[in-house]
Amino acid sequence: MTQYFRVHPDNPQARLCKQAADLINQGAIAAIPTDSCYSLVCHLDDKNAVEKLRRLKGISEKQHLALLCRDLSDLGSYAKVNNVQYRLLKAVFPGPYTFILEATKEVPKRVSHPSKKSIGLRVPDHKVVQAILEHTQGALIATTLQLPDMDEPFRDGESVRQALEHELDLIVCDGNMCSLLPTTVIDWTAEEPIVVRVGAGPLTGPLEPVSIEEDGDI
């Protein structure tokens, strides 16, 4: 049975956020609001949950997934970055961006890209996500909650509930409408960063000179 948690958008109840994190830690597939659109999430280390997440989204192992992290303190555990990369990441996070980076050995092969050995990294600027991550044991795997037959991603918890109540273990709703746009995705597995999807994150400031070659899906 799907559990439905309604939380306050600005002051999310710690009890509910801990319960949500506990469910995810135990293998739940959850739909949560973010600073872009709704995302499907599960625990990084749960093989069965990751496989179910891919089936629900309708994606193969060749499409990138993202890691949701509370801040950049865990960056070294999941991605290989140099000083230049770290400074730019620090300048734009938290925010509605996903950076595709070379994965470390700490990232299970089943969630990294099979040929590029890379992984997406996100640090969302969203109080509900941050409150859930506070109680999560490690990073979460995430992907935009947009099904194969949909032209746009889900933006609110009630719509997710109506469409996927029997497919998910948990739906978190904060009563707000999320952005229509997914994250802006930047591939930095080569020497220079390349924007592969223009989304909710503005390409201003340190990102203004970055090249754009849109073809990303995450």
Q: What is the pLDDT of residues 91-120, one digit of tens each?
A: 999 999 999 999 999 898 888 888 889 999
| Span 54-68, pLDDT tens digits | 999 998 888 889 999
Residue 135 φ/ψ, nearest 5 degrees: -110, 5
Distances (CA, A) of 2 to 5, 53, 64, 108, 201: 10, 15, 26, 28, 31
| Span 133-158, pLDDT tens digits | 999 988 899 999 999 889 999 999 99
143, β-bridge pairs: 40
71-80, 84-93, 150-159: range with lowest mean pLDDT: 71-80
| Span 177-214, pLDDT tens digits | 999 999 999 999 999 999 999 999 999 999 988 888 87
Which letter does DSSP use for residue 106 in this model? T
